[in-house]
């Protein structure tokens, strides 16, 4: 789907909402029409699964601070043929429970949907131990695992529904910090696993972003537009399976790519894009993300500035990528 964001009224200020909020709302609403159970690891208030718990207490199970056990329980329930959502912070869902996710869920290809909240630097004051910057890399290496990273509230809701209707294990990455809901203003918006969303076509370079960084990619494109640079903006909400066809089209069309993610550049979106284009349509690719480092405690805006996760830094990398074109 291709939509030009700048066709919409410029005086509209998008509402802001954390994707974890939309995750909880989606579970509660979809629970009316779909038969599934939700597990959590003593974090229902933070992951927002508590919204589902309040509405469907008989279909909610708190597994306590035992994430590995929770994933094994989810696998057992899924083996009976029932859909299961298992939720915790990304650091625990992808990190602490990796072995159970790999062996109990991934290996038998069970229908478990992992809702991982509080991912990335925007966890803020919780600091390095909780700012998971490695989860996309971990999850996309598991055979058969689908990896989704929605950009905003509207996309997060659609992501949950798509995951529910998809057979097989799915890892969904949600954030703690509020983000502008740009998807709500897209015409005929549709979420499809494995298909990216083009916010804006361009001719000079393409910004490929995921999750929290999508709205900053839009801001970067606006900055560059003022300089006479035409930058396309792509929301790659599905890291795996990656939209190879779209990436090749944009590489051929613009000749330069900049990726943007709230994740380590090693093994994340940027790595996936580089792997894809190296095999299909080699062009200059520069990656915006954390550079082989841990996070640190602090307020979100200064942290984003410190780690270069800003619209200004994305725009700078686009200028560099354009200069690298043959």
Q: Do the beta carbons of residue 42 and residue 204 sit within 8 Å?
A: no
Q: Which two tokens stand for residue 297?
A: 């405690």
Complete edge-to-edge strand list for the sheet that includes strand 60-62: 60-62, 36-40, 83-89, 112-117, 170-173, 146-148, 238-240
Half-sphere exposure of 114 (CA within 13 A, CB side): 39
DSSP track, 211-263:
TTHHHHHHHHHHHHHTTT--EEEEE--EEES--HHHHHHHHHHHS-EEEEEEE
Complete edge-to-edge strand list for the sheet that includes strand 257-264: 197-200, 231-235, 205-209, 257-264, 285-290
Determine the Cα–Cα distance for residues 95 and 130; give it in Å rounded to an integer. Answer: 10
Of the candidates 32, 117, 128, 110, which has an alpha carbon nearest to the alpha carbon of residue 72? 110
Matching residue, tokens 């405690």: 297
**Terminal-to-terminal C-alpha distance of the chain:** 29
| E strand segments, the chain | 16-17, 36-40, 60-62, 83-89, 112-117, 146-148, 170-173, 179-180, 197-200, 205-209, 231-235, 238-240, 257-264, 285-290
67 noted as active-site residue = yes
Find the catalytic residue in 67, 155, 261, 316.
Answer: 67
Catalytic residue annotation:
67
């Amino acid at each position: 789907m291709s939509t030009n964001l700048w066709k919409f009224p410029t005086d509209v200020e998008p509402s802001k909402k954390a994707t974890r909020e939309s995750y909880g709302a989606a579970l509660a609403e979809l629970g009316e029409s779909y038969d599934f159970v939700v597990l959590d690891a003593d974090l229902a208030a933070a992951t927002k699964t508590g919204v589902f718990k309040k509405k469907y207490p008989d279909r909610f199970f708190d597994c306590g601070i035992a994430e590995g056990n929770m994933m094994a329980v989810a696998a057992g329930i899924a083996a009976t043929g029932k859909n299961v959502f298992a939720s915790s912070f990304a650091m625990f869902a992808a990190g602490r429970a990796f072995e159970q996710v790999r062996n109990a869920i991934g290996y038998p290809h069970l229908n478990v949907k992992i809702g991982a909240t509080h991912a990335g630097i925007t966890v803020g004051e919780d600091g390095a131990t909780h700012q998971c910057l490695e989860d996309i890399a971990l999850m996309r290496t598991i055979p058969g695992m689908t990896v989704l990273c929605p950009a905003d509230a509207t996309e997060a809701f659609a992501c949950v529904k798509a995951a529910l209707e998809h057979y097989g294990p799915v890892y969904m990455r949600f954030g703690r910090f509020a983000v502008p809901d740009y998807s709500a203003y897209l015409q005929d918006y549709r979420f499809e696993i494995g298909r990216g969303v083009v916010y804006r076509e361009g001719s000079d370079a393409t910004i490929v972003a995921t999750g929290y960084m999508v709205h900053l990619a839009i801001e970067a494109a606006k900055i560059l537009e003022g300089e006479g640079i035409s930058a396309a903006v792509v929301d790659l909400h599905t890291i795996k399976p990656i939209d190879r066809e779209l990436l090749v089209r944009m590489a051929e069309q613009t000749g330069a790519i900049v990726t943007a993610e709230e994740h380590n550049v090693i093994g994340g979106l940027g790595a996936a894009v580089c792997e894809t284009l190296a095999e299909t349509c080699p062009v200059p690719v520069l990656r915006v993300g954390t550079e082989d480092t841990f996070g640190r405690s602090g307020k979100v805006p200064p942290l984003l500035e410190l780690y270069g996760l800003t619209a200004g830094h994305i725009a700078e990398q686009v200028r560099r990528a354009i200069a690298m074109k043959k």
